[in-house]
Structure 1
Amino acid sequence: MADWIVERGIGEVRAARIEGGAIVEARIEPDDALRAGAILTARLVRRIPVRGEGIVAWDGGEALLHPLPHGVTEGATLLVEITRPAAPEPGKPKRARARPAAPDAVPRDAPSLADLPGARILGPFDPDLLGEAGWPLLIEEAITGQVAFPGGALSIALTPAMTLIDIDGDLAPAALALAGVRAAAQAIARLDLAGSIGIDLPTVGDKAVRIAAAEAVDAILPQPFERTAVNGFGFLQIVRRRTRLSLPEQFVHAPAHARALLRQAQRTGGSGERTLAAHPAVVAAIAARPDWTVAVEHTLGAPLALRAEASLAISAGHVQARFP
């Protein structure tokens, strides 16, 4: 198995596992993210005994605690271990999740992507190995939810219940089901999809094809995960442990687009001042972190200017150098 390549970027750490010159797994970790594995002191603000859960809070955050420890009253402090960050779903964002820490635990930070075993750490002045392996295309897939494969395409949609992957194309149903489910399994790993994932395949009457489609997932998708069989309607469900936000979940909001645009700025050729034109929300996210601008200017050896353009989509920011 290939080692991970880890890039310390502006406001985030990026990691990718590359095989045959292409990214097969990728992760993005914002610097301010609440990471699974962190142990911190929290206060129990609400008991929900009917569900065996509670809500804990600390300075700057809160989480749903499960299971609810016996004998801990509301207002008491306890050590908790984060198991999943908050999920920014439309309408009703999900709280972070936590569990009571082990009796001998002490407060600690969670491991970072930079701690991946065997990882090769890259800085802003190193060769753009992620870009050479297709990082811009990966980000485009995360933003649009559209993933092409020979003979068809995947449409990935985030819903409150699960991440749904629809397979469509011009191949015969059996061939499309097999090609599509292979592409879906690869996309799940590449885009770091987790939690409950549903794949909608073309309806295929041949049971052997449905079995082959399920086995293709087993052969491609790294363990651990659980899955169902492909039912008669062509639906397959996969469950992967969710310890961080997937790439598509991160690009629901402006800060992820801001960090991606700053990466583009760092890698843009030319000289002189760089102008970043972007949606106002993206510009605001960059302006709110002056340290980000300073870091990019240090890399470029040139000043950075921001220009808000309301006509641009949130993902349509671009960089212009004063001199080519």
Structure 2
Amino acid sequence: MPSPEWLIERGIGETRAVLVDDGRIIEARIIRDGDVPAGTVLTAQLKSTGRNAVAIADGQEYLLPKGAPGVTEGARLNIEVTREALGGSEPWKRPLARKTDLPPRPAPTLQGRDLQFPAASDELESAGWSDLLDEARSGLIGFPGGELRVSLTPAMTLIDVDGALPPAELAVAGARAAAAAIRRHGIGGSIGIDLPTVASKTARLAAAEAVDEMLPKPFERTAVNGFGFLQIVRPRTHASLLELASDSALFEAAALYRWAAREVGSIRIVAHPAVVAVLERNPTLLDRLSMQVGGVITLRADASIAISAGHAERP
């Protein structure tokens, strides 16, 4: 059986990377053009000192949770980005960085097999790309015998497990499915999993072990308590797919670029007005799409269609 492989698709407005195992996406990452990836080292200017110091690099403010010891306000310093701007439902959360002695450098590049874009054979779609986006949009993720409902809150990502299996069996299956979803959607930070309440300590231990089996390190977790709650803490270096999808207009605009790029000749993009507004704010990306398809791109707003129902048609 072939080993898991990273596939990288450099599209219009974003780069998509997926880890595929046995023909299925088990991990995914979207990097939007213009985002500064974690691991990037920048030269910045210290805007404010103290416990939560702030530095500015290329017009972007970075919060330095550990401060900048030895650096005076207004002085220059090098910083390493430790968490990208989250955007989505938490646009007010600035990216995080730390003071470093390293010289300026880009973040480590994604390693994997670069895909032609667009290509006659859509390997991402064959591995379940559309299903992955639907999960991110809805927060609903099915598994044999049950369903996960993923909710974003300011404090943590919550995953509720429900289904028709017996409680002890559902707890284990749900914990396994939740761990797989956490990895697949790149969920980091504090995560709570609400499993069925089971009296059996053996079943609660089996549910916790299912998380350990499915979720790669590093992470920390609690035991499953008597109410069926398990908490996980993972590194959070970027927004999850669900967080990206919470900014629905921007998310759907990126999805439209991907599908429209497969057309040939002049096309008209029909989309919800909120999505059209995003497209209109990015004429450079529309120009790239025009060059890709070899024709003129026009837009038509249609308030009667769902925000995820945009499509390309012949003018």
Query: Which residue is 1:106 aligned to?
Result: 103
Within the candidate set 126, 145, 149, 2:139 is matched to: 145
CA distance in 1 between partners of 2:42 and 2:265 (Å): 45
Instruction: Give the partner amino acid of 1:88.
Output: G
Q: Look up the SS of the partner of 2:49 in the other structure.
A: strand
Rounded Cα–Cα distance in structure 2 between residues aligned with 1:58 and 1:256: 26
Asked if residue 291 in structure 1 is aligned to residue 290 in structure 2, the reply is no
1:47 equivalent among 46, 49, 52: 49
Determine helix, strand or coil for the equivalent of 2:125: helix
2:55 is aligned with 1:56: yes
Gaps of 5+ in 2: none
Asked if structure 1 preserves the Cα contact closer than 8 Å seen for 2:8 and 2:16, the reply is yes
Asked if 2 retains the 8 angstrom alpha-carbon contact of 1:89 and 1:160, the reply is: no
TM-score by length of 1: 0.90
TM-superposition CA deviations, 1:183-204 (whole Å, max 9, x none): 1111111111111111110111
Deviates more, 1:293-302 or 1:33-42: 293-302
C-alpha distance in 2 between matches for 1:183 and 1:298: 42
The match for 1:261 among 256, 260, 264 is 256
Residue 84 of structure 2 aligns with which residue? 85
Contact 1:54/1:68 (<8 A) preserved = yes
Aligned-residue CA RMSD (Å): 1.8
CA distance in 2, matches of 1:159, 1:128: 34
Instruction: Identify which range, 203-212 or 59-68, moves more after superposition.
Output: 59-68
Question: For the residues of structure 2 that align with 1:279 and 1:166, how far apart are their CA atoms?
Answer: 31
Residue in 2 that maps onto 1:186? 180
On the 8 A contact 1:66/1:100 being kept in 2, the answer is no
Shift in CA distance, 225/156, structure 1 to aligned 2, threshold 3 Å: same
Residues 94 and 231 of structure 1: is their aligned pair in 2 closer, same or farther, counting only changes over 3 Å? same
Match for 1:24: what amino acid?
A: I
Amino acid at match of 1:46: S
| Matched positions, count | 311
Q: Distance in 2 between matches of 1:180 and 1:267?
A: 38
Determine if contact 2:118/2:262 at 8 Å carries over to the other structure: no
User: C-alpha distance in 2, partners of 1:226/1:321?
Assistant: 52
Conserved in 2, the CA contact under 8 Å of 1:9 and 1:123?
no
Q: Which stretch has the larger CA shift, 224-233 or 292-301?
A: 292-301
Which residue of 303, 312, 319 maps to 2:305? 312
Partner of 1:163: 157
Q: Structure 1 residues 4-13 or 86-95, which shifts more?
A: 86-95
Q: 2:207 maps to what in 1?
A: 213
